[in-house]
Amino acid sequence: MITTEAAQKSAINTSTDFLPLNGTDYVEFYVGNAKQSAHFYKSAFGFQSLAYAGPETGVMDRVSYVVQQNKLTFVLTTALKMDHEIAAHVHKHGDGVKVLALKVDDATDAWQQTTQRGGKSYMEPKVLKDANGEVVLSGIHTYGETVHIFVERNNYNGVFMPGYKKWESKFNPESTGLLYVDHCVGNVGWNQMNPWVKFYEEVMGFKNILSFDDKDISTEYSALMSKVMSNGNGYVKFPINEPAEGKKKSQVEEYLDFYNGEGVQHVALATNNIIETVGELQKRGIEFLQIPASYYADVLDRVGHIDEDLKPLSDLGILIDRDEEGYLLQTFSKPLQDRPTIFFEIIQRKGARSFGKGNFKALFEALEREQDARGNL
């Protein structure tokens, strides 16, 4: 770790915020079958039906199902015609994240501030209106085919945004306790981490609050480098990974091979009770990386006292790390589609603001076991 936690806090507090962000508005996935994907996120992750757009709402080329859990909103979108850009995206990447949408008070200003600093426009500011008010959208491109859409919805009282109708369902599974997006991690190509760090610094006013090199994130076989970018208030954090030289192929390289380019590696979802959340997710069929029992033999010597009993953490494969401000509990799902690409992290922070540096070796050895089983190490 190159910067300290104190430096991290200082970097956030002194950021010049020409792009004030109020957090993540939604994450949109382009998928092969939106109806089935929405059912999966409801049944497995505990999301609830929120909104729908498609031919019935006047959208003729795609369908989108919107699901919500606390402050988490996922949009699952699929194309209705084979010669559509969404269909091409799914053909190339498999199911994956297209949009990391960010809440703003002024979407027009957000677009102007970022494009005049070199951001490539994805969507010029546009106003969507219906009887419930208006939403203003704008957007810019980031790594790969991923985009950031700025969402201004202060003057809207509808269900999601104009063009959507309320989606009512008789299937309303219990929440699993997931709360909001903690951070989203992007995988970029060889020697592309620093250019994208520069993009977030110059175009969006982010600060590099933590840096990890191949000495921090390496095993006997593989390595990667990572830098964590944060906006001014710390509400939006985007770690960026790139491969590093190793004896064998890293998980980042495997991702780039199967995603056919750069993209979102994982979305970290916050919970206030990781034992209950992960236990419930496992009951519903979500598989997590297996952590060897040896990890837990001396973990408390490293991290000190924690409030939780160690046995349920060990049983569920939950990792523990500590920084100057507290500790965190985290675990990682296996990939959620057939390609070994996007997965989810479940994280509970008990004061800690860091990203689990002390767990990197155990995590990457677990990832390598999965890669080896697939023949991709």
Rounded Cα distance, 73 and 173, in Å: 16
- At 345 the pLDDT is 96
Domains of the chain: 5-13+177-374 (3.10.180.10), 24-166 (3.10.180.10)
Task: Report the alpha-carbon angle 39-41-45, nearest 5.
Answer: 130
User: Does pTM surpass 0.85?
Assistant: yes
| pLDDT by position in tens, the chain (length 377) | 444 444 444 444 444 589 999 999 999 999 999 999 999 999 999 999 999 999 999 999 999 999 999 999 999 999 999 999 999 999 999 999 999 999 999 999 999 999 999 999 999 999 999 999 999 999 999 999 999 999 999 999 999 999 999 999 999 999 999 999 999 999 999 999 999 999 999 999 999 988 876 666 666 666 778 899 999 999 999 999 998 887 777 889 999 999 999 999 999 999 999 999 999 999 999 999 988 888 888 889 989 999 999 999 999 999 999 889 999 999 999 999 999 999 999 999 999 887 766 676 677 677 777 888 888 77
- At 16 the pLDDT is 59
- At 173 the pLDDT is 97
Tokens of 371: 């890669």
Q: How many CB atoms lie within 10 A of CB 94?
A: 21
The residue among 336, 376, 337 whose CA lies nearest residue 253 is 376
| Order of strands, sheet of 263-271, starting from the edge strand that comes earlier in the sequence | 207-212, 223-230, 237-244, 178-187, 263-271, 343-350, 326-332, 319-323
Provide, for the chain, the percentages of residues in helix, strand and coil under a 3-state DSSP scheme, each rounded to the nearest 5. Answer: 30, 35, 35
Residues 6+ apart with CB under 8 A from 258: 94, 339, 340, 341
| Order of strands, sheet of 96-103, starting from the edge strand that comes earlier in the sequence | 121-130, 133-141, 147-152, 96-103, 24-30, 72-79, 62-69, 48-53, 165-166
- At 369 the pLDDT is 78
- At 52 the pLDDT is 98
The residue among 360, 297, 356 whose CA lies nearest residue 322 is 356
- At 295 the pLDDT is 86
* Dihedrals phi, psi of 18, to nearest 5 degrees: -80, -10
